[in-house]
Amino acid sequence: MQAERARVDAARKAEADASAKREADKKHKSKVNNEALNGIVAHCNSDTVDVTPEIAKAVVEAIAKGLIPHVKIRY
């Protein structure tokens, strides 16, 4: 009985740890993607070129999904 309880507790802890790790990874990727988005907007906006945050977001999403050849985001 005690061994079963310990097994269940270990499984719950493992799931909680995995969930926390997924959440931390999601936050980290969001931070990196937002930094890339802000960099694109800051670098590309000038008198001749105007990149909106929406366009930059679409570019970052395409890169993150692997849709742009030869370009990757390192998390």
Residue 18 domain flag: yes
Residue 32 domain flag: yes
Q: How far is CA 70 from the centre of its chain?
A: 19
Residue 21 domain flag: yes
- How would you class 36 by CB atoms within 10 Å of its CB: exposed for 0-12, middle for 13-18, buried for 19 or more? middle
Tell me which residue of 59, 31, 27, 33 sits closest to 44, measured CA to CA. Answer: 59
Under DSSP, is residue 71 helix (H, G, I), strand (E, B) or coil?
coil
**Structural domains counted in the chain:** 1
When comparing pLDDT for 49 and 23, which is higher? 23
45 pLDDT tier (thresholds 50, 70, 90): confident
* pLDDT of 48 over the 90 cut: no
End-to-end Cα distance, the chain: 44
- Quote the domain boundaries for residue 41: 2-64
